[in-house]
């Protein structure tokens, strides 16, 4: 644990180094990113072991949802960075002068990145990729709720990078509070809405910009044309990936009445096919991260009729993949983000009525619909405020470096991944020059009605 003075002065140390050496060259930034890639490859086995220790993650999920997406992101950013970073120059002819505009991207300086426990490698390092690409220095605060991963990240990152460039700080909520009050130039936070509000409030005291990646009750709809075994398998996979602890997991499933019972049967069949009749013994199903979160999910299960699963073991932090129905309106599970392996399945009879019933969180991180009906897709798109709408698929969009990832409203603000990450961690800096061959003397006091009338007629050319 670092002392308080060190935490408070850490961003200043990074900014001093950054501004004394100048903005890192493209070549230097690519070298840093490739070093990060090498670290991921060299420590793959250790990272997978740490993730299993913290969350019971199977090796396949650890590699596919944490390490592989980071490798893909680094390669994509390195390939396109020169193009994104290229200044944009333009010239505009005015009456009496030519204006020359040169716009470029500049790094904020020292960036604080606060990671989350559910994907503790990916969500700690994905923002780092965009921050480095833009030319920043970074401090990473991994979640204390994934301690094995946090300690491993600290060891491998701090060994490979100088403190002034990239540094990992471990600790609890008190450490995070000290960091958010330090003079960083930008804060990137991934986590709960409650904590996100606290981070934003603390940052506002210093006018520090913040990017918040929060959660949301991502609705998933299967209409009368969208039901199939393939569709249900996709939904079940996306819901119970990482034991349901995924911010873009289908939160609640709404199924058209005509296919409701068939969907419930197929959901049970898919769960059994994936995890067997004894999922606690399966090596392919994870665990709940904390005892507090375990208790919250168990209480959710009690708010409906269990149609599949329901078993749980506190000593192992295990909760079986569970499906519940017959949930009373106003129950907490219908209002709060579930973030666990419990799938409420609710029938509906008319899509438009469902959309305007107030039962869907319209500003969730994403919205899912399974359908062959183009009109239903359009209705859903128009109704949802979510930055991403996924049709006949779940989860996969978040792994693409071609798609920005972020929230709106209750699911946060700001976006990253790919070019969006480069833009998020930089700001536009403009050089403006004018080359005069005539000057409009009427802009200087004392003003006259004649010059004002001339300005009204020629404003596009004079200004």
SS3 174: helix
Residue 53 CA to residue 147 CA, distance in Å, equals: 9
Whether 247 is a known active-site residue: answer yes
Q: 36-69 burial, b for 16+ CB within 10 Å, e for fewer?
A: bbebbeebbeebbbbbbebbbbbeebbbebbbeb
Q: Are 361 and 368 in contact (CB under 8 A)?
A: no
The encoded tokens of residue 153 equal: 């990240």
Residue 77 CA to residue 67 CA, distance in Å, equals: 16
Residue 153 CA to residue 168 CA, distance in Å, equals: 7
- The torsion defined by the Cα of 79, 84, 86 and 88, in degrees rounded to 10, comes to 150
Catalytic residue among 213, 234, 266, 337: 213
The encoded tokens of residue 121 equal: 């490698």
Whether 213 is a known active-site residue: answer yes
Catalytic residue among 78, 138, 247, 289: 247
Count Cβ atoms below 10 Å from residue 3 Cβ, excluding itself: 8
Burial class (CB in 10 A: 0-12, 13-18, 19+), 342: buried
Interhelix angle 260-275/229-240, rounded to 10 degrees, is 60
Q: What are phi and psi of 305, to 5 degrees?
A: -90, 125
Please, which residues have CB within 8 angstroms of residue 168's CB and are 6 or more apart in sequence?
Answer: 139, 140, 141, 142, 150, 153, 154, 157, 158
Residue 114 CA to residue 190 CA, distance in Å, equals: 6
Q: Which of the residues are catalytic?
A: 213, 247
């Amino acid at each position: 644990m670092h002392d308080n003075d060190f935490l408070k002065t850490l961003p200043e140390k990074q900014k001093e180094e950054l501004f004394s050496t100048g903005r890192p060259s493209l070549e230097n930034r690519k070298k840093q990113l490739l070093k990060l890639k090498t670290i991921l490859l060299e420590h793959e086995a250790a990272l997978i072991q740490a993730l299993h220790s913290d969350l019971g993650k199977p090796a396949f999920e650890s590699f596919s949802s944490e390490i592989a997406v980071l490798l893909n992101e680094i390669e994509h950013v390195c390939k396109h960075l020169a193009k994104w970073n290229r200044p944009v120059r333009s010239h505009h002819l005015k009456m009496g002068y030519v204006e020359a505009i040169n716009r470029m991207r500049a790094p904020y300086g020292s960036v604080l990145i606060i990671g989350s426990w559910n994907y503790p490698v990916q969500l700690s390092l994905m923002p780092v990729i965009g921050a480095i690409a833009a030319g920043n220095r970074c401090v990473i605060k991994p979640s204390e709720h994934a301690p094995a991963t946090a300690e491993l990240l600290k060891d491998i990152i701090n060994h490979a990078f100088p403190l002034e460039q990239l540094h990992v700080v471990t600790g609890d909520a008190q450490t995070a509070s000290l960091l958010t009050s330090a003079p960083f130039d930008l804060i990137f936070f991934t986590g709960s809405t409650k904590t996100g509000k606290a981070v934003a409030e603390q940052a506002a005291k210093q006018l520090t910009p913040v990017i918040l990646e929060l959660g949301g009750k991502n609705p998933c709809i299967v209409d009368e044309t969208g039901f199939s075994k393939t569709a249900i398998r996709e939904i079940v996979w996306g819901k119970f990936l990482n034991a349901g602890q995924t911010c873009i997991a289908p939160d609640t499933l709404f199924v058209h009445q005509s296919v409701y019972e068939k969907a419930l049967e197929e959901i049970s069949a898919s769960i059994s096919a994936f995890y067997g009749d004894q999922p606690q013994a399966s090596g392919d199903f994870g665990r709940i991260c904390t005892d507090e979160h375990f208790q919250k999910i168990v209480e959710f299960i009690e708010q409906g009729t269990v149609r599949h699963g329901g078993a749980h073991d506190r000593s192992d932090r295990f909760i079986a993949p569970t499906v519940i129905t017959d949930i009373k309106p106003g129950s907490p599970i219908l209002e709060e983000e579930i973030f666990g392996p419990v799938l409420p399945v609710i029938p509906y009879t008319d899509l438009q009525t469902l959309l305007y019933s107030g039962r869907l969180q319209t500003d969730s991180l994403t919205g899912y619909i399974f359908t062959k009906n183009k009109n239903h897709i359009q209705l859903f798109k128009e109704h949802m405020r979510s930055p991403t709408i996924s049709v006949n698929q779940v989860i996969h969009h978040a792994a693409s470096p071609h798609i920005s990832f972020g929230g709106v409203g209750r699911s946060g603000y700001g976006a990253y991944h790919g070019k969006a990450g480069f833009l998020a961690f930089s700001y536009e800096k403009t050089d403006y020059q004018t080359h005069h061959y005539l000057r409009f003397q009427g802009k200087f006091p004392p003003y006259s009605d004649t010059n004002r009338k001339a300005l009204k007629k020629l404003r596009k050319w004079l200004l």
